[in-house]
Every structure is written in structure tokens, then in C-alpha cells.
Amino acid sequence: MFKVDTNTRGIEEVLYDKKLITSDQLSAIKFEHVNTGKSIESIIKERAYVSNDDFVKALGEAYGFDYAPLSEEQVDSNLLDLIPLSSAKKYNVVPFNLNGNNLAVAMVDPLDLQTIEFIERKTGYKVVPFITTEKNIERILEEQKGKAIGEEISAAMEEISQTTLKLDETSGELTDATIRDAPIARIVGMILETAVKTGASDVHLEPGEDVSRLRYRVDGILEEKRKLPKEMHDSIVARIKILGKMKIDEKRLPLDGRFKVQVGNTSTDLRISTLPTIYGEKVVIRLLKEEGAAFSFKDLGLRGLSLKRLEEAILKPNGMVLVTGPTGSGKTVTLASALSKLNTIRVNIVTLEDPVEIRVPGVNQVQINPQAGLTFATGLRAFLRQDPNIIMVGEVRDGETAELAIHAALTGHLVLSTLHTNSASGALPRLLDMGAENFLLASTVNVVVAQRLVRKVCSNCAEEYDPPEEVVQDIKRVVSGISNAMLAQNKDPDIMKAVKKSQENKITLKKGTGCDKCANTGYKGRLGIFEVLNISNEISHMTLENAPAAKIEAIAVEQGMITLMQDGYLRVLEGATTLEEVLRVAK
């Protein structure tokens, strides 16, 4: 990074004097430098002897530059406007103090003379360079960007009041030329960029009587980000409609559209849905990452007997594998993970989805189009003429689709699909209600998986606490249903450890206190909880007898199935999630 010769102490000697590296480490650095010709700086970075902050402070001391931590008190926010945000990001610089004609600028590379010359020309001040970390600069620039949206809103309000954004009277459409360079376009860009960066799955823009509400769904929970002036709402909706190639003059009917955005290296497919309400059009944008996310079953949260039974079921040459749960419970990810595991050059896999959310290379994925006559039922009929080995149907919605899926499983195909039921044991009665024949179901269904997604406790701010006595008793009651016979079948050390913990006199659990990394929610990321119902001979017989879900579940538990609630409580005992999360999704 720094390419100058100097007679001052080297960074390695500064670190040694500060007791941040040992004499052995100092010798190792010098030895590698002499033998390989690598720079001292790169050797220290590769060996990770010190933190990045300590490295940068020592580097500044070695080359005679003061370190700028860029704390709130140190940065004069008025000076940030001296350098455009795009230029500050490009050159990794932040102006933070002005003394007379001397402008203090924090830089990742304070010896970058070209950048210093550029800033001096741009601002008219003499630059006094300071050294800081890239992370510090990113933090300040992100804060500055957040403030910028407020200014964009003000500018947009002014333009709206001047009727710059209006319908073209001749065509009845908002022209691209009118909107392209307007602040509204930048606001929409910021809204979408923030959604991608925060990992939101949906963006909701909801008109109210006085204001519009902007909400993001992150880790399955809707969070309000800000309120926007009501006067801006129609212009923002118009901009989104133009991007989605939708009719902007049609405000009486629900509309659908789609477009793509790219943030960094992440390409995201956006599905737009509008809905007329009494206060204006409500917009929901679903974000689908193009590269998708297919994981291993263990990454999803499957383990023990549940993992073994699902892996065995998908490796059978025919039959049905059903994944159940409400919307947003991760069913599509589980099926995509199964397809990734099964995907080889020896098999022909076809899928029928609405929409195609996760793209799996090498799999023939088809999106239904009811307007054109391509439904789950018509698509399934066509699939059987495509010489498939494995068929994935996005959802069994009606009796016709159920009948065709069962027929495909009977004729030598492996069929994977989803179903909306509350539990694994409720899947078979649900299919019977749709009109499926019980004797066909008994011979085709291999396994039924029920799942939910719970938010994980943030690892950065997690702390242990003593739960109330009634909570402890509830945990003991639920986990005590896992018998020794079930534990013998579920040979998983984490399960064993959690069950043992539930039997202790004093039980401690974990919760997040809230920090910057989890947006003060106490949660970061999500984890699946599962119950896997293996269709054994006994359960097949009960299907023939049209047995209710409760009886099927009782037999499955006897045969080693850990229920959804039990799996959730085990995760609580492990400190992975909280009791509130499990009860929210499983009850």
C-alpha cells in the first residue's frame, strides 16, 4: 500500500515497541521479508498478528501520520459536503476538520499524492492527511448517505409542488424523460439498495391518510423504516411502475410487474404487486436474489433421525416427498437444497414453480403462466412427456394437481412438492380432502416434512439469563416427551446435550440485548425447525383407514419423530433462538 523509502522505524518495530507482537513474531516477519521479498506490511496482514485498527495505527506512526478514529465528536458533518459522496467512496477519504485554510482529511492511504492533489483542487484548501481504517470511512459515508435521503425527499417535494412530475396530457403516461433525473428516481434507488443490503425479502409502501409508510420484511418480520410525505406517494409508485413496465394510468385494478437491480455484485429480481386502497395504491416488492440460496440439509437445521429419513426418502427412485408449512417458512429453500443434492448428469429434473425463486444450474425450471393456460395441472401433464426422473411441483393447490402428482409418483418418478398444512401429520388428511384416493396415497408418499423459520439470537449481543419458573416447567414438560427410545434413534450429540440440559435443576437461556449488527432487534439470521414424518407400514395402514392427523402423529412419535415444538424447544436450550420465536411460529 505504501511505496516510499524512509529511515524511520518500520511498522514491525512500532508493533513490537507497543508489545502488540512478540520477539519471535518480529523475527519471523523479518525472516520472511528477507527470504521472499514480500513487503513487511503484507506479511503482517497475511499472518494476522494484530487487529486491523492496531495495524493502521502503527502504520501511521511508522510513516508519521496521526490516526483519526472518526468519532462523532471529531467529524464536522458540514465538511462532508465538500467532496461528493461518490468521490469520497471512490478514493476512501473523509474530510473531518477545518482549521483556517488547512483541511484535515482521513485517508486509507495518506501517501496517495494524486488523491490529495484532487481534493485540494476540488475544495481550495490545503490537505492535512490523517490515516484511518476503511471500516471507519465506510461507517461515516453510510451515515452521510442516510442523511442524504432526507435532502432528496425535500428536493422531491419541491419538484412535486412545482408539478414537474405529471401525466403527459397527450399520451396519458408519465414520460421517461420527465422522471429520469428527478430526485424521486434517486429515492426509489435508495429504497431498493437499502432493501438489498439489509437482506429484506419484501418492501411495503403503504399509503395512509396523511403519510405513506415504508416497511421492510427482514428475517420474516416487518419493520417500519420511515414515513414519507403523502404528496410523494403517487410519484414514487409511478417511478416503480415505469421500472416494472406497468400501466401507470391504471390505478383501479391490482397490477403485477418485474425488473432487476444490481447492487455491487448482487443481481436481484424484483416482483412488483400493486393494490388499490382507499388512500391510494399500496405497493409490495418481493426481492429474489438471482443466484438464490441452496444449502445443505444440515445448514438448514436438519439433524439426527429427521436428516437421515429425509435423505433416504429423496434417494428413492419414485414416490412423493412433501414439505409443509405456511407462507415464508422456507419450503422452497428446502426443495431447492434437495434438488441440488439430486442434480447429476444422469437424471432429468424438471420443476414447475410460481414464481421461480431459486435458480438451480442444470435443472429445467418452468414458471406457471395461468393467463397463457400454463397451470400446475397442465404443466404436470406436459412434464410426463418430457422423460423426467424427478419432478418438483411448487405447490399442490387442488385435487387435479394432487391426482396428477400421485399418478407421476406411481409411474416411476420421484415427485417433490409443498402443501399448506400446520403439521406433517396433517398432510395426508389434507390430500384426502382434496379427493386423492387413500390406497394411492398409502403407496406413493415417502416422507412428509413440516418446517418453520425462527430468528437466531444475535451472536454479537447474546447474553444468558435465568427464565421464570413457569417457563422452565413448560420446557421440561415439552422436552420430556422425547423418550429414551427416541434419543437412541436420534444419535445427535447436540440433541442429547439439549435434552440433558432440560433435566438440570437450573436452566439458563440466551437472548440478544440489541446492537448495531442486528439493528437492535437481538436477532440476526434465521434457522429452520422441523418434524419429519416417515410413512411407515403402520402409517400407511392408518391412511387406508382415513385416520385423523392426531392418531397419525401419535404413531409417528412412537416411531422416533421429534415434533416441531420439541425441535424448537431444543434449539432454545442450545441458545440458538428464543422461546418467544418458537411460540410465534409453531403455535
Residue 216, judged by CB atoms within 10 A of its CB (0-12, 13-18, 19+), counts as buried
SS3 state at 263 = strand
CATH level 3 topology of 297-586: Rossmann fold (3.40.50)
Cross-strand partners of 365: 351
- Taking the C-alpha atoms of residue 294 and residue 15, their distance in angstroms, rounded to an integer, is 44
Cα separation of 58 and 501, whole Å? 47
Q: What is the pLDDT of residue 528?
A: 93
Would you say 298 and 307 are in contact if contact means Cβ atoms under 8 Å apart? Answer: yes
Using DSSP's 3-state secondary structure scheme, residue 11 falls into helix
Calculate the alpha carbon distances from 19 to 22, 50, 58 in Å.
7, 11, 11
Which of 211, 212, 205 has the alpha carbon at shortest distance from 240?
Answer: 205
**pLDDT digit string, tens, across residues 379-431:** 888 988 999 999 999 889 888 889 999 999 998 999 999 998 888 999 999 99
For 562-586, write each residue's pLDDT tens digit. Answer: 999 999 999 999 999 999 999 998 8
Quote the CA–CA distance of 264 and 448 in Å, as a whole number.
39
Statement: the pTM of the whole predicted model exceeds 0.85: no
In this structure, are strands 319-324 and 445-457 parallel, antiparallel, or unpaired? parallel
Which pLDDT score is estimated for 409?
Answer: 93
Nearest to 248 by CA among 195, 320, 184: 184
- Helix 52-63 to helix 40-47 angle (10° resolution) is 160
pLDDT value of residue 174 = 30
What is the tens place of the pLDDT at every residue in 422-461?
A: 889 999 999 999 988 988 888 899 999 999 999 999 988 9
Q: Please determine, looking at this structure, whether the domain spanning 11-137 carries the CATH number 1.10.10.10.
A: no
- In this prediction, residue 149 carries a pLDDT of 56
What DSSP letter does each residue of 522-550 carry, written as one string?
SEEEEEEEEEEEE--HHHHHHHHTT--HH
Instruction: Give the full edge-to-edge strand order of the sheet including 255-263.
Output: 221-229, 211-218, 202-207, 280-289, 266-277, 255-263
Any idea where the domains of the chain sit in the sequence? 11-137, 165-289, 297-586
* Omega cis (within 30) before 355: yes
- Looking at domain 165-289, which of 1.10.357.10, 3.30.70.20, 3.30.450.90, 2.60.34.10 is its CATH number? 3.30.450.90
Measure the CA–CA gap between 159 and 165, rounded to whole angstroms.
Answer: 7
- Regions of the chain where pLDDT drops below 50: 1-7, 157-181
Read out DSSP for 462-529?
A: EEEE---HHHHHHHHHHHTTS-HHHHHHS--HHHHHHHHHHTSSS--EEEE---GGGTTSSEEEEEEE
Taken as a whole, the chain contains a residue count of 587
